[in-house]
Structures are given as C-alpha cells and as structure tokens.
Amino acid sequence: MLRLSRLTDYAVVALVRLGRAEAVETSPGIAAAIGLPEPTVAKVLKALACSGLVVSQRGAHGGYRLSRPLHAISVAEVILAIDGPIALASCVDGAAGCESQSLCPVAGRWDPVNDAIREALTGITLADMEEAAVPRAFRLPAELSAATAGE
Amino acid sequence: MLRLSRLTDYAVVALVRLGRAEAVETSPGIAAAIGLPEPTVAKVLKALACSGLVVSQRGAHGGYRLSRPLHAISVAEVILAIDGPIALASCVDGAAGCESQSLCPVAGRWDPVNDAIREALTGITLADMEEAAVPRAFRLPAELSAATAGE
DNA sequence: TCAATCAGTACCGTTCTGGTCCACAATTGG
DNA sequence: CCAATTGTGGACCAGAACGGTACTGATTGA
C-alpha cells in the first residue's frame, strides 16, 4: 500500500497544531490537544527537533515552537525527519548490497521513480494540508461532493 | 523510509524480463533467470495475473506473457497490483475508521499528497525503467561516476 | 534548590512482510 | 483417455519493523 509510518501522520498533525499556537507548547499539551498518547508525541517532537523543523526550549516553561512558518515546510521534509530518506525500494541509488546485482535487469533503476516522488512531495507544504483540513462537519455538502468527485 | 514492498521490485524485474521474452515463460524459468526463489516469483506472477498485467496459460507448455507492451504499463499499476492502493497514510480518503477524527486537524488530508504521488507514478512506464536499466558492468566509468555524483 | 521540561536510551508486544509448502484445477500431448 | 506439466488458491511460519512505553539524565527558570 506504499505505506507511510503513522508517526509521520502524527508529526503533521503536531506541526499544524504548533503552527496555530502563539507561544511555545509542551509535548503533553500537544498530546492532549490532538488526542494521542504523550510519550509517542514526545518521540515525534524529538525527531522533528533533531531535524530542525521545530525548536525546543528546555527547562521550566519550555516547550516547542516551529522554526519556520507552515508554508515553508514541505511534506518531504517531515517524511525525511520521521521516516528517513524518501526512497521506494531497498535497492536504491548506489546501494551495493544487492547480491543478485549481476542478474537484476533493473539494478537500482527505481531512481527516476524516487526522484519523481521526491519532487511531488517537495511541492506540497504543510500550509496546503492545513488549508484542506477543515473538519468535515464544518464543510458544506457542495465542498464534500466536489472533493469526492476529484478522486 | 516510505518503503515499497520488495515484491513490487520483483514484479518489475519479472515484467521487464517478460517484455523481452518471445514466447510464454514459466514461473520457474523466470525465477531462474532473475535469480530469485521460485515460490516467491510464482506468488508475484499470480498477483500480476490477477490484475491483468500478465496473461497466464495453464497446462503443459503454459506460462505467462505480458498483456501489454512495457511502455503501456505504468509503475503505478504494478504497485497497485502488488501492494494495493497507492496511499500514504492509513487515514485516507473517506476512511471512517479513525477514532480521533473529531480531534484530528488534518483528517484525511493526505489526499493531495496521495494524488501527487499517484500522478507521478502513473507517468513512469516500465519501458522507462528498462531503458535506464543497463547492467552496471556495461556502463562506462564516466556514467557510473556521473550517476553517483547526483546523489 | 527545586520543579518543570526536554533528551536519550533501552525495551517489549504487535503487526506485517517475505518466504515456503501443499492440495487442486486446467491443459496439453501421447 | 490418461498422465505429465503448469498455474491457482490457500494456509502457514519466521523474521523484522513499527508503535508504544518506561526510565534516567540534562537543562532551565523561579
């Protein structure tokens, strides 16, 4: 299913949440706000801080805040922070670990595919996702039908 | 890592192989040709046959052949056949299984991302991958260094 | 100095993937 | 008409990865 780790989903939610916050927010606070277990949220935030997407402030009255506005953060960056490099196959780029390399007729040839995906993901920012993230209950029936028609 | 199942990789290899074959090929034959265990290849071919990408012929002197030329098969179709629907998150489209839907501020909003990926993958055919799949032993050192420099 | 908060690590249970095997159906060829 | 060949479908198992949790330490502010 070309799955993305669930943690990345959490990361997007947390980042959007932070984008709306005015001051720093603690990880328990964010966890409560988005309805997720606190340790998990903390783990996600740590990874995001490690990648520089959020800035952490330690000590009392500390917490997290965005390092950049939402429209300056691409989905690709979030995935990179949580899931690691964006690549579809284990056999990627110059990966020399493939034992059947001599037989494999497409040796590492997922590269164009990976590039295409990277490009697609870089073009979408969190602001785009936030904009489309109006709760369904608040959307007009016309919006809903228009959205489903496009799928 | 935004992983794709290894079976999909196998599927591409097998399909490219079939694209070069002149007659039908048996699954043991393909397995031997691409250096993969036979039962695994058989499983992949079954899935591909189920999706109509290859045509199976039962009985003695049976085997598999492509239903369409390589340039008419997109990577997206192969992924769809092996891995199922192309979607990044478990929380997709109208998926109503999300228990924290009321809290989730991006409820199902991976849709634009999924669409972008689907589009990118649909634009790449197996012929594109085959073309780029010149065995490394046959490539000039200049090509190899140029390829690695791009990473 | 103490409390609040992030940082890092280590661990466990569940789930999924990859891989194997077996019984059955279909087709060909003698 | 029979037997050999080949795909079909399902069940099954081991290993790894993921999600989630707990614990200890470091840092900051009151």
Cα–Cα distance for residue pair B108/A90, rounded to 1 Å: 28
Closest Cα partner for A24 from A72, A59, A61, A70?
A61
Is residue A42 domain-resident?
Answer: yes
Is residue A103 domain-resident?
Answer: no
The CATH number assigned to the domain holding B11 equals 1.10.10.10
Please give the share of chain A, as a percent, with pLDDT higher than 70. Answer: 72
- Structure tokens of B87? 């979607």
Tell me the C-alpha to C-alpha distance, in Å, between residue A33 and each of B91, B104, B113.
18, 9, 24
Comparing B45-49, B65-69, B122-126, B128-132, the range with the smallest average pLDDT is: B128-132
Pick among B6, B18, B109, B131 to test the A interface (most A CBs inside 10 A)? B109
What is the per-residue pLDDT across B23-67, written as a single tens digit (0 to 9) for each?
Answer: 899 999 999 988 889 999 999 999 999 999 999 999 999 999 999
For residue A46, pLDDT over 90 is answered with yes
Query: Are the beta carbons of B9 and A103 separated by less than 8 Å?
Result: no
Is residue B15 domain-resident?
Answer: yes
**Structural domain for A65, as ranges:** 6-84+125-137
Question: Which chain D positions have some atom within 7 A of a protein CB?
Answer: 3-10, 18-23, 26-30
Is residue A98 domain-resident?
Answer: no
Is residue A107 domain-resident?
Answer: no
Average pLDDT over residues A123-145: 64
* Bridge partners of residue A60, in order along the sequence: none
Total structural domains within chain B? 1
- Residue A106: its pLDDT value, please? 53
Judged by DSSP in three states, A78 sits in: helix
Is residue B123 domain-resident?
Answer: yes
Is residue B101 domain-resident?
Answer: yes
Tell me the C-alpha to C-alpha distance, in Å, between residue B61 and each of B24, B41, B94, B102.
8, 18, 46, 58
